């Protein structure tokens, strides 16, 4: 058996004609869907980028215990389990976060890996004397950032200048490498190719030929990288931003077509699975927000695409599937494709029984109904497919909030000394394979904490009826229904072995009995 796992970053459902997008054309995503089971109720797990990837590797949520961080020594990773079982695993990616301090442990679990340079803030091309004056003339004032800070946008300006001169974009290189792999190994057996593209994540930098159909993107200074937060740009600038995003999605669609051509050429459809998804979406002006992390996790961010094309030998016909699924299901699904056992700590579900016509894996009336998703320190979000519920903490965001880890690093830095104040080594948790872990309190002044970098907006508990209000514009007031949602969240927290302080933070702990006089 063989499989290709294709992961995009920030690929919105509402930018794909497969999912009913109006005014856009993504013929190759449609072409893939015609061969696939297309999942209509697929949701994120942990957010954003690296937490989502840890979910994919381990088959369980990590945002209840950890913010952005590496794989842990106790994690059973999908890539390592397949490699250890004799399946050759190859990673092709331009997702540079894997190669920062907070991405340790991911790529090394594969049999081999290829890293393609130049995306976003990848510290790739030297910038000893950057021409900031020229950059100021080229890029819109709302995205100028020429500082030497580790989180500065300056590497993008430098990388982009080099890539334009060379004419070889990371997205194209990723698919070229994947197609070469398939050309060379289509006749071999027992391999998994993990092709992971940073696009269409911001900055929305598409080759110029894909911009021709989006004239708004070409007018004036470049504006392809929004700041996360409230919508505070005018309609023309928003149109330019969206045009750049849709041009980049068009590029993703084009290069996906080259992969499908390779499948056709070698008739890989007969014995090779093709799984396509993303980590999350983002907001491009919807609900008057831009980006992710700070606004509530509306469906533009949380409700994501998933298509799985089964080989002819599997006997699974293409169709639409309405059952509720989640990012954590990808790991057990890929393990089952290669007939490998699923570790006991995994909380995701293989989707193969569902694809073969079985019962939903997360029925709304199940013992542990629905699914929770979210970002460390922010809301616990819940859906049963019909309703979404955003449950925010009842205390300050740094109060009684702890990271459980043996790998104390943030996205681009290690933990500071002050973050170890009041840290404790605690007994193994149920999923840590006997490893004790550090329990580190979040400190408000910690420079690299996501709760500090991305202060939350509209942090108000809310309940939405997706059937009556699919755009999540009008929260409903239904105490009985909310009580049912809260009970479902409690069940999910228990199933995911959430630390006990979580129940207190979110107002889910039992009320104390009144004292007897």
How far apart CA 350 and CA 300 sit, in angstroms, is 25
Model confidence at 22, pLDDT cuts 50, 70, 90, reads confident
- Six-digit token string for 322: 């309405």
Tens digits of per-residue pLDDT, 413-453? 999 999 999 999 999 999 999 999 999 999 888 877 777 78
pLDDT of amino acid 420 = 95
Q: Are 304 and 42 in contact (CB under 8 A)?
A: yes
- Classify each residue of 424-450 as buried b or exposed e, where b means 16 or more C-beta atoms within 10 Å of its C-beta: eeeeebebbeeeebbbbbbbeebebbb
- Residues 404, 408, 412, CA angle at the centre, nearest 5°? 130
Tens digits of per-residue pLDDT, 246-276? 999 999 999 999 999 999 999 999 999 999 9
Q: Which of 449, 428, 426, 446 is nearest to 438 (CA)?
A: 426
pLDDT of amino acid 366 = 86
Place of tokens 């193994």: 428
Q: Which residues contact 383 (CB under 8 A, 6 or more apart)?
A: 43, 302, 324, 370, 371, 373, 389, 466
How far apart CA 113 and CA 94 sit, in angstroms, is 11
Model confidence at 329, pLDDT cuts 50, 70, 90, reads very high
- Six-digit token string for 194: 């993990």
pLDDT of amino acid 510 = 65
**pLDDT, averaged across the chain:** 95
Q: What is the pTM of this model?
A: 0.96
pLDDT of amino acid 451 = 75
Q: Are 282 and 9 in contact (CB under 8 A)?
A: no
Phi and psi at residue 498, in whole multiples of 5°?
-65, 145
Tens digits of per-residue pLDDT, 204-214? 999 999 999 89
Torsion of CA 168, 174, 178, 183, to 10 degrees: 0
246: β partners: none
pLDDT of amino acid 19 = 96
Torsion of CA 96, 64, 14, 17, to 10 degrees: 70
Q: State the DSSP string of 26-41.
A: -HHHHHHHTTSEEEEE
391: β partners: 380
Tens digits of per-residue pLDDT, 130-160? 999 999 999 999 999 999 899 999 999 999 9
Q: Please say if the pLDDT value at position 367 is more than 80.
A: yes
Residue range 34-49: average pLDDT?
A: 98
pLDDT of amino acid 446 = 80
Number of other CB atoms surrounding residue 459 within 10 Å: 15
Task: Give the long-range contacts of residues 239-243, CB within 8 A, separation 24 or more.
Answer: 240/216, 241/204, 241/284, 241/285, 241/290, 242/216, 242/284, 242/285, 243/211, 243/214, 243/215, 243/216, 243/217
Q: Are 22 and 211 in contact (CB under 8 A)?
A: no
Q: Does residue 215 have a cis bond before it (omega within 30 degrees)? A: no
pLDDT of amino acid 515 = 36
Can you give 194-231 as a three-state secondary structure string?
Answer: EEECCCCCCCCCCCHHHHCCCHHHHCCCECCCCCCEEC
Q: Please say if the pLDDT value at position 314 is more than 80.
A: yes
Helix (H) or strand (E) holding 275: strand 272-278
Q: Are 26 and 15 in contact (CB under 8 A)?
A: yes
Q: Are 232 and 188 in contact (CB under 8 A)?
A: no
How far apart CA 417 and CA 420 sit, in angstroms, is 6
Helix (H) or strand (E) holding 473: none
Number of other CB atoms surrounding residue 375 within 10 Å: 26
pLDDT of amino acid 499 = 97
Tens digits of per-residue pLDDT, 66-79? 999 999 999 999 99
325: β partners: 42
Tens digits of per-residue pLDDT, 91-119? 999 999 999 999 999 999 999 999 999 99
Handedness of CA 360, 373, 485, 65 (dihedral sign): positive
Q: Look at 399 and 335; give whichever has higher pLDDT.
A: 335
Report the SS3 class of residue 516: coil
pLDDT of amino acid 512 = 37
Q: Name the burial class of residue 367, with classes exposed (0-12), middle (13-18) and buried (19+) by CB atoms within 10 angstroms of its CB.
A: exposed
Residue 392 Cα to chain centre, angstroms: 21
How far apart CA 217 and CA 161 sit, in angstroms, is 18
How far apart CA 492 and CA 506 sit, in angstroms, is 13
Residue range 360-380: average pLDDT?
A: 92
- Six-digit token string for 485: 């949602």
Tens digits of per-residue pLDDT, 284-306? 999 999 999 999 999 999 999 99
């Amino acid at each position: 058996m063989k499989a290709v796992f294709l992961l995009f970053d920030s690929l919105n459902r509402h930018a794909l004609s497969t999912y009913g997008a109006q005014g856009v054309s993504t013929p190759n995503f449609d072409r893939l869907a015609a061969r696939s089971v297309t999942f209509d109720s697929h949701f994120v797990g942990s957010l954003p980028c690296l937490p989502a990837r840890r979910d994919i590797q381990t088959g369980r949520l990590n945002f209840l215990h950890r913010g952005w961080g590496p794989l842990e020594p106790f994690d059973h990773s999908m890539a390592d389990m397949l490699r250890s079982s004799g399946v050759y695993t190859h990673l092709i990616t331009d997702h540079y976060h894997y190669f920062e301090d907070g991405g340790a442990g991911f790529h090394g679990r594969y049999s081999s890996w290829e890293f393609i340079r130049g995306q976003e803030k990848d510290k790739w091309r030297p910038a000893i004397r950057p021409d900031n004056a020229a950059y100021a003339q080229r890029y819109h004032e709302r995205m100028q950032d020429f500082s030497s800070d580790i989180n500065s946008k300056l590497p993008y300006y430098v990388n982009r200048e080099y890539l334009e001169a060379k004419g070889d974009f990371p997205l194209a290189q990723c698919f070229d490498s994947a197609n070469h792999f398939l050309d060379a190994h289509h006749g071999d057996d027992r391999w998994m190719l993990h092709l992971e593209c940073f696009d269409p994540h911001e900055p929305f930098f598409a080759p110029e030929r894909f911009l021709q159909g989006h004239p708004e993107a070409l007018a004036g200074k470049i504006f392809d990288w929004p700041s996360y937060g409230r919508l505070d740009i005018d309609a023309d600038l928003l149109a330019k931003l969206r045009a750049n995003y849709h041009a980049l999605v068009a590029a993703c669609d084009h290069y996906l077509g080259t992969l499908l051509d390779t499948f056709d050429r070698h008739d890989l459809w007969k014995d090779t699975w093709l799984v396509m998804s993303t980590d999350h979406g983002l907001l491009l002006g919807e609900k008057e927000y831009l980006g992710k992390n700070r606004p509530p996790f509306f469906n533009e961010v949380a409700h994501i695409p998933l298509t799985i094309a089964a080989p002819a030998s599997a006997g699974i016909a293409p169709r639409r599937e309405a059952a509720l699924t989640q990012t954590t299901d990808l790991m057990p699904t890929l393990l089952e494709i290669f007939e490998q056992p699923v570790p006991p700590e995994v909380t995701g579900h293989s989707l193969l029984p569902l694809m073969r016509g079985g019962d939903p894996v997360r029925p709304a009336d199940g013992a542990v109904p629905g699914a929770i998703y979210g970002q460390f320190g922010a809301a616990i979000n819940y859906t049963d497919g019909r309703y979404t519920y955003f449950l925010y903490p009842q205390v300050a965001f740094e109060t009684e909030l702890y990271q459980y880890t043996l790998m104390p690093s943030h996205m681009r830095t290690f933990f500071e000394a002050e973050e170890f104040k009041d840290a404790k080594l605690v007994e193994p948790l149920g999923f840590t394979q006997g490893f004790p872990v550090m329990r580190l309190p979040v400190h408000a002044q910690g420079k690299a904490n996501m709760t500090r970098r991305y202060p939350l907006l509209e942090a108000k508990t809310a309940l939405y009826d997706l059937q009556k209000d699919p755009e999540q514009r009008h929260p409903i007031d239904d105490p009985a229904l909310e009580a049912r949602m809260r009970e479902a969240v409690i069940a999910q927290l228990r199933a995911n072995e959430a630390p006990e302080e979580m129940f207190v933070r979110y107002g889910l702990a039992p009320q104390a009995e009144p004292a007897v006089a």
